[in-house]
Amino acid sequence: MSSSDFETERSPLLAASTSSRDTKTLADLTDGALESTPLLSTSNTTPRYNGERDDPDRASLASAGASHSGDGVPKSTRWPSIIAALLLMVLATSIAIGAFFVPAAVEEYAKEAIVIEPTNLALESITTDGVRARIQANFRLDAQRVKNVHVRRVGQFTTWLAKELATEETRVQVYWIDHDNMLLGTAGLPPLTITIANGHNTELDIVADLAPGDADTIRIIANQFLSGKMDTIRVRGTTDITVKTRFNIPLGTHAVSETMEFEGKELPPLPSYNITGLNFEERPLPGGDKQGMAADVTVTTFNPYPVAFDVPALKFEILIPGCKKHGPAVSVATAVTDVIALRPEADVEVTAHSIVEELPEPLIRPCPGGTMSPLDKLFEAYLAGQPASVLVRGQKDQGGEAPGWIGDIISSVTVPVPLPQRSFDDLIRNFSLTDVSFSLPDPLADPDDPDSNPKVSGTIVALAALPSELNIGLNVSSVQAKADVFYDSRKLGELEIDEKASSIQIEGGPGEENLIEITSRVHDTPLKVTDDDVLTDVIQALLFGDVNVILDISALVDVGVHTILGQFVVKGVPAEGRIPLKPLGNDLLGSMQPQVGNLEVVDTSPVSISLQASVNVTNPTPYSAYIPWISIYILNNGTVLGEARAKKLTINRGNNTNLKVTAIWRPSVAGEDGVQIGRDLISQYISGYNTTVTLRTHPGTIPSKPELGKALSKFNFTLPMPRLSVPGDNDGGRHDGDGSTNDTAPHFIRGATFHIFSSTATFTLASPFSRNTIYIEHINATALYNHTEEIGRIKYDSPFGCPPGVSTTPRLPVDWSLDSVGRDKVKEAFGGRLKLDAKATVAVRIGSWTETLWYIGRGIGASVRL
């Protein structure tokens, strides 16, 4: 190495001080002005395995342009300085005391004048007992550093006489003062010869054998250092040194002890590192047909020290923190490194390989008193972006070329290794819900019962990205999630999903990531609506909008996974997706084309009638629904006339037949106006007019969710009056009907027959009821020709029945209009047929319910007989 490499360490390590031994020596030793070169070269130029680079603020380094100690910024000391200074300090002090043990002034001179400048520290090799280090330094005495003039003169004279001093082979012991003087290590130093004349420089080149102390001592100091609990560390170096002059005059053996103290912030930090390679794959286990999950990792760091040697392959144990913070960890695998080549001031690449045979039972077993296992806790922290670490501990039995002392030390130290952070924002690439069906709440459920919420069924298909380093078979067997549902950035409700699942892995092409498609069928999953106003907006957008309604899903998903290691659950996987819902169309109710059949009366009162019918509808939407119970108001002209009810209805996509519906007709609840509006509505309907009714929800629509019915009541759904199925309407036969201008209207009057001589008429009637008889209590009718020409009148007050199906009325008396053109037309049609119009007021009765209706019919086919 060039001298410029060490010019920042050429200031004296042992500066002038008082005669007592205090920490001022250490202050000189660790002065930040001595070392402005980086402790660790920046690692932000080394790309990670995922292409990212370190944040410079997180790298453990000192800037090459750092200011000197006068700026007040604390700096850490380089390890070469600490090691070399400790050894050389003991050595230099020993020599000084050995040379000048008689005059105290000379001893003081030596302590103040000594200057030692380390220039290099290199670990040449690993031995069976420790390491062999080469220490290079410059040694000299500088009289100008001595403040006392008398001491300076005596010292200069004495050292001029002695010229040189030599030592025999020496062994230095280093103790940790703060922990009962535990032995940290020893160093064997070879014989040395130095020049002690003022200003003369001696280049020291020492090859020392360094041996670590007790493994427990190393473990304690390492754990305190790693946990950040080491505020200060005080060490003492001791030796017995034998000194002689250049003329081999022995100066005796002297016991020497020196103390150094370091602040915790002055100790070099752990080097920063990048994970530049990571790969998981299935690999056969040794000695069998089984396979395990192999993990290969490459870590790159920077060696800022002038150290060059090869580290043999080492074995480490990989552990995961257990249930308790300070409890035992769970061992999952053994990792073996390749040989590590350390070169001075260069990147160091460490590659390790491990294989996991199976997941230990303590790793996946729930912790006592909870539901989370150690593996769950690790995944939860990692997926949430919180600090998550695995533990690495060396194995005691290393085998191979590694000496035993390495195993003793690294097996006593456990180092937490943070898992590399990554973003999971784009984990879910696509999320869809198809074959959707909805179920309304159960009306009898308690408010806190899940059945009191609407339910959703459908097929969830999620496309998720797999990490590029994960190259193992992965099957998803179940999904469990609590999902928040949003519309237009407002929370609509919450979904709880707990279903089985299946998956297919999709291998990406070159430069593409691997994907996994997860499919799960959800059935009757409760949707807990948390904001009825948002639900109202969703329904409004579905009914009246013309673009897809987008629901956003945000969830933490527990995924049941089956791998080569077995089955386990990955909890708390963040998932976000969007569910597009197709609009229902602006004419949803009109396109449903409802048809009513099997109409029957189930109850009556003087002011109301309860009907039951089978309804056929067409569902034009891509959704299906299940309705356990529902109640909807029936309105006309804004007036409530009755109520429709249904229960246990399943509405599928497309045609739906025989849906049972009950209607209660009670217009009297709206007073006289309601009675008149109801009367006119029925009259218009039987007359074939285009009539409509309006459906509207109310608080009792879903008894368990009154607020939902109230929220939806702002929407009025208007649809044409459903067509009643009347006998003969769909039989393909021919009949004259009532001549209604509305081709889709039911034909209640199928025809009429006039008898000339008896002045009577009979009518063929078709009843829409399947089991009930309609009674005609009174009739007042006028027959017309060509809409205006009166033919005759019928007034009849004797009740007669109209049974289910097609029936003929009794002969009703006709009062002919003798001076009317219409009568002549009747005569002309004798033996044939003609088309007549009719106007009538009819009083009808069904059970206890009676009503007076009006009727207008056109184009009624009438036969004329004698």
**pLDDT for position 683:** 94
Tokens of 3: 């001298």
Tokens of 651: 């509405």
Which residue would you say has higher pLDDT here, 856 or 230?
A: 856
What domains can be seen in the chain, in order of their start residue?
Answer: 3-51+69-266 (no CATH), 273-418 (2.60.40), 428-581 (no CATH), 588-724 (2.60.40), 749-865 (2.60.40)
The dihedral built from the CA positions of residue 685, 691, 692 and 693, taken in this order, carries a sign that is negative
Provide CB contacts within 8 A for 743, sequence distance 6+.
Answer: none
- The model's pTM is 0.62
3-class SS string, 617-663: EEECCCCEEEEEEEEEEEEECCEEEEEEEEEEEEECCEEEEEEEEEE
Tokens of 798: 């004797």
Cβ distance 13 to 90 under 8 Å?
A: no
**pLDDT for position 195:** 87
- CA–CA separation, 319 vs 305, rounded Å? 30
Residue-by-residue DSSP string for 532-560: HHHHHHHHHHHHH-SSPEEEEEEEEEEEE
3 state DSSP class of 224: helix
CA 829 vs CA 70, 760, 782, 787, 815: distances in Å? 129, 16, 19, 17, 18
Residue 285 has pLDDT above 80, yes or no: yes
Confidence of residue 58 (pLDDT cuts 50, 70, 90): very low
Residue 74 has pLDDT above 80, yes or no: no
Which residue would you say has higher pLDDT here, 306 or 645?
A: 645
**pLDDT for position 16:** 32
The dihedral built from the CA positions of residue 17, 22, 27 and 30, taken in this order, carries a sign that is positive
pLDDT in tens, 575-587: 888 888 888 876 6
pLDDT in tens, 780-793: 999 988 888 888 89
- CA–CA separation, 499 vs 422, rounded Å? 28
Confidence of residue 400 (pLDDT cuts 50, 70, 90): confident
Residue 305 has pLDDT above 60, yes or no: yes
Q: Percent of the chain scored above 70 by pLDDT? A: 83
Cβ distance 785 to 837 under 8 Å?
A: yes
Which whole number is the average pLDDT over 132-144? 86
Q: Where are the alpha helices (DSSP H) in 292-366?
A: 361-364
